[in-house]
Amino acid sequence: MARVRGPLPPRVSAPDLPREFETAHGLGPRAVLLGTRVVSLEGHVDAAHSTISESVIAEASVDSLDLTGATLVDVAISSLRVTELLARDGRWRNIAVDGGRIGTLDLSGAELDSVELRGVRIDYLSLRGASVRDVLIADCVIGTLDLPLATLSRVRFEDSRADEVDSDGLRAEHVDLRGLEAISYGRPDSLRGVTLSHRQVELAAADFARALGIDVQD
Cα distance between the two ends of the chain: 48
Residue-number span of the structural domain to which 82 is assigned: 22-154
CA distance 86 to 96: 17
Q: Is residue 159 situated within a structural domain?
A: no
Beta bridge mates, 52: 33, 72
Rounded mean pLDDT, 5-9: 85
Q: Is residue 150 situated within a structural domain?
A: yes
pLDDT in tens, 148-165: 999 999 999 999 999 999
Q: Is residue 13 situated within a structural domain?
A: no
Q: Is residue 204 situated within a structural domain?
A: no
pLDDT of 207:
73
Q: Is residue 201 situated within a structural domain?
A: no
Question: What residues have CB less than 8 Å from 80, skipping those under 6 apart?
Answer: 57, 59, 60, 65, 97, 99, 100, 101, 102
HSE at residue 98, side-chain half, CA atoms within 13 A, is 12
pLDDT in tens, 24-77: 988 999 999 999 999 989 999 999 999 999 999 988 999 999 999 999 999 999
Q: Is residue 122 situated within a structural domain?
A: yes
Q: Is residue 121 situated within a structural domain?
A: yes
